[in-house]
Amino acid sequence: MKTKDTPKNKLIRVIFKILIFAIILTGAAYLFVFLTGYRLVVYKSDAGDTRFIGKIGKNKEPSVGNVYFPDGSKAKINLEENRIEYSDGSVYVGETAELHPHGYGKLTFLSGEYYEGDFVYGQMTGYGVYVYASVIGDRYEGYMENGKRNGTGKYTWADGSYYEGSYKNDMKNGEGRYIWADGSSYTGAYVNDVKNGKGVYEYVNGDKYDGDFVNDVREGEGTYVWENGESYTGGFKDDMMDGHGTYTWTTGRTYEGTFSKNRIVWERD
């Protein structure tokens, strides 16, 4: 008995032919890719999959092709030249591992600023130099962790002033020394980019303060010596003499007692 050629049967045959054609086409594509040396390589990590499509080198590792990163960005890679060109315009030249900057290299951004130094799987981590764009003119040399200043380092501003000391999370933290362009300086403790703790501030006019700082101002106990030789040792608040202290004149005369907002509080007997 002959099967009736219904529209449904025709549709099934069409779909079947399309599937066969798709399989043949896919096989041909894979054969072409295989014969020409192109491969798909996937590197898995906690951040997601990094995919490479391109030519494989003699060491059976990715050589030249396109890279697709977990965050959606992409790059053209040429490991024969140790070069990665990212879609945002930045260019890396140096050592790599699993398609990421790893080891020593130089990453140049579209703005013109660049970092040259150590990398760990794509992150600026280790010792290096970061040169900011010419419109800024700043420069940092020291230790980095995941793209932030961490550890000891030296930051130099375009005007010639610089800070050399300890960093954490891109901010001055710990002991360090700041030299301003006018020659004044501070040596002491920092917390989150501001002077906090013990320190010595030497002013360009020759004055000197040695004592406590809170949030960038003289506060606590300390000694202030003027360029003319006069001095004060005692309490400070809001950058002013405040509390109990001793003031000494160049003649040798002294006053010990209470101060408030830089003034002596004369006490009656």
Whether 84 contacts 69, CB under 8 Å: no
Looking at CATH, the fold of the domain delimited by 79-265 is given as Outer Surface Protein A; domain 3 (3.90.930)
| pLDDT in the model for residue 1 | 46
- 82 close to 73: Cβ distance less than 8 angstroms: no
Closest by CA position to 241, among listed 230, 229, 227, 253: 230
Cβ atoms 149, 128 nearer than 8 A: no
Report which secondary-structure segment, H or E, holds 145.
strand 139-145
Q: Which residues pair with 200 in a beta bridge?
A: 187, 210
DSSP letter assigned to residue 3: P
Query: Whose CA is closest to 93, among 85, 57, 120, 141?
Result: 85
At residue 105, the 3 state secondary structure works out as strand
pLDDT along the chain (269 residues), means of 10: 58 68 61 62 87 87 92 94 96 95 97 96 97 88 98 96 97 98 97 98 98 98 98 98 97 95 82
One-letter identity of residue 149: R
Output the CA angle 13-26-43, nearest 5 degrees.
140
Domain ranges of the chain: 79-265
Q: pLDDT at position 9, please?
A: 62
Residue 60 pLDDT: 81
| Nearest CA among 212, 215, 213, 210 for reference residue 226 | 210
The whole model's pTM is what?
0.82
Distance CA 118, CA 115 (A): 9
Residue 45 pLDDT:
85
In terms of residues, how long is the chain? 269
Long-range Cβ contacts of 189-192 (<8 Å, 24+ apart):
189/213, 190/165, 190/166
Distance CA 147, CA 166 (A): 16
Per residue, the 3-state secondary structure of 33-68, as one string, reads HHHHCEEEEEEEECCEEEEEEEEECCCCCEEEEEEE
